Amino acid sequence: MPAPVKHDIGIVVFDVRSSHLLEDFLKFVSWQQLNTKDQHLLMLANVKQCKNSKRLPNLLMFPNNLAKMKLKEVKDCIEDALVADEENTLNLGHIFRLAFHHLKTDFQDPIVVTKQIIIFSELLSGEPVEEGLLQMITDRILKEEIYLYIVGPRVNFLMPVKGPDYFCEDTYKDNIGLMVPTPIQEQMKTLVCNVSGVMAEVDVGLHLLLTYRRTGGSQPWKVPLTIGTKIQIPVKTSKVYRTDVNIQVKKEMIGEREPDSFALAEDITIPVDHEDIVRGLSICNNFVAIENDSTFFKSNTEPTFDIICFTPSENVPIAFMSGQESFVVLAEKNEKEPFFNALVTCLASQKKYAIASRVYIRQTQPKYFALIPLDDVTPKRFMMTEICAGEEIKDSIKFRSPSAPVAEVDTVIKDFVKSVDVMNPDGKVKKPLHPTMMVNWKDVKLLEMTVEECV
């Protein structure tokens, strides 16, 4: 039986006074329905109705999983809600109180990866919460490792956002520029910086909502790190980056499908019966038959995480670190943690990497990774990135000092590169996100088409 699918849970808050955010909110709902197994509950704020378990004013809670509601149904729920008469009815203290309650009581799934509180609002109205209550909210979010996203306020990032670690840096709060600051926006800016959350206008915020996760956002893999035959260090390995997995579209079959037919490659007019088909590989002009056996390509391996050697960092150039995934490796809190920290410090001081063999699932081939020591952060850790090995290296890579260019510079290409450089103040691309922090453009188009078709 396959392992259960990991997913996120959360509370999604939509401010009905920010009605122009509805289209992008529906794109988020479409993403949940098309591409994830996540579970979210919908809360409407700034409404006349009061329907929630805590009987808090101006909050309307829906009991159904958002991903199971039709887009038209979600749209109608929001558009039919009556906007509160008073201006300052957006009470973030009540919103967080109700969100914390439902995250605790409505989701008892042991395979949950992350908890989320997502707020779609411009934050133009409402009163700031008391400082003591704000500190309690901050502590609760950090304790329960909840991800906070505020999508909608007019925020200008002064420098481009390059990767997930950006949100953990002290410079994050200096980079958020509020274009039309309000007291409640200033307070929420402080909150998202303290909890490494996201606060952005809707275009950028939707990308970050669908792509950004901190280290805690992946299920840790807890196979111990082994050195030789006697040393085992309990560690937890968490994924921090992988290449985009786009929305999968399946074609529905209409009517009966015609059976597959086969013919000779040399003469397609000569049919071949299915019983006469032999599976195999063509190697050096020789045909090697392969039995139709599901165990043929399986390996007799168990999950392992072994350091096989140490090597100077210059032996592992960036060109070799071209794998599909990157991870962070942290020591478990036990008596072997000092040894792990000493290993990181020793390798960092000698400018060396560890090369590790990793078998993630039993009966699969190992993959090879470079463990890069990070001694200047707390806690100490390895950044682990996949490296190519063996037949994956198609050509030898030589590094040498470049000779002086003799060809004339193509100014057209040069100007184009400058125009799409997000670091260039004179460039034409103004979206303050590095491409790796953005949803694939094909997925964006598909979400737009889905919303247009369904509503």
CATH of the domain at 68: 3.40.50.410
Residues 182 and 156 in one domain: yes
Say whether both 84 and 122 belong to one domain.
yes
**Do the domain assignments include residue 46?**
yes
- Give which of 367, 361, 327, 111 is closest to 237, Cα–Cα: 327
379: preceding bond cis by omega (within 30 degrees): yes
What pLDDT is stored for residue 220 in this prediction? 77
For residue 450, pLDDT beyond 70? yes
76-80, 346-350, 358-362, 410-414, range with greatest mean pLDDT: 346-350
Six-digit token pair at 225? 């790190």
Shared domain for 204 and 333, answered yes or no, is no
Banded model confidence at residue 241, pLDDT cuts 50, 70, 90? low
| pTM reported for the whole predicted model | 0.65
d(CA 77, CA 71): 10
- The encoded tokens of residue 170 equal 């002290």
The pair of three-digit structure tokens given for residue 304, joined into one six-digit string: 């392992």
Considering only residues 164 and 334, tell me which one the structure prediction assigns the higher pLDDT. 334
Q: Which of 164-178, 196-210, 244-258, 435-449 shows the lowest per-residue confidence on average (mean pLDDT)?
A: 244-258
Per the prediction, the chain carries an average pLDDT of: 81
Distance between CA 207 and CA 160 in Å, rounded? Answer: 13
Residue-level pLDDT at 445: 82
Residue 202, classified by CB atoms within 10 Å of its CB into exposed (0-12), middle (13-18) or buried (19+), is buried
Residue 148 scores a pLDDT above 90: yes
pLDDT digit string (tens) for 265-317?
A: 888 888 888 888 887 878 777 888 877 666 666 677 889 999 999 999 888 87
With a cut of 70, say whether residue 221 has pLDDT above it: yes
Please indicate, yes or no, whether residues 128 and 230 belong to a single structural domain of this protein.
no
Interatomic CA distance for residues 440 and 436, integer angstroms: 9
Residues 128-137: pLDDT tens digits? 899 999 999 9
- Which domain CATH number covers 342? 2.40.290.10
Q: Is-contact 155 178, C-beta < 8 A? A: yes
More confident residue, 249 or 89: 89
Same domain, 133 and 195: yes
Does residue 157 fall inside a structural domain? yes
181 with 237, same domain: the answer is no
Considering 348, 369, 387, which residue would you say is the last residue of a domain? 387
- Confidence (pLDDT) at 1: 40
pLDDT band at 448 (very low <50, low <70, confident <90, very high): confident
Task: Give me the number of domains the chain comprises.
Answer: 2
Q: Do 161 and 96 belong together in one domain?
A: yes
- Domain containing 378 equals 225-244+298-387
Q: Which region, left, alpha or beta, applies to residue 335 given φ > 0 means left and ψ of -120 to 50 means alpha?
A: alpha
Query: Beta-carbon neighbour count of residue 350 at 10 Å?
Result: 12
| One domain, residues 59 and 92 | yes
145 and 111 in a common domain: yes
Query: Residue 447 above 90 pLDDT?
Result: no
Residue 323 lies in a domain: yes
Q: What is the pLDDT of residue 174?
A: 82
pLDDT of 70 strictly over 70: yes
| 142/362 Cα distance (integer angstroms) | 35
Is position 273 within any domain?
A: no
Candidate from 79-83, 238-242, 398-402 with smallest mean pLDDT:
398-402
Tell me how far apart the alpha carbons of residues 294 and 340 are, in angstroms, rounded to a whole number. 40
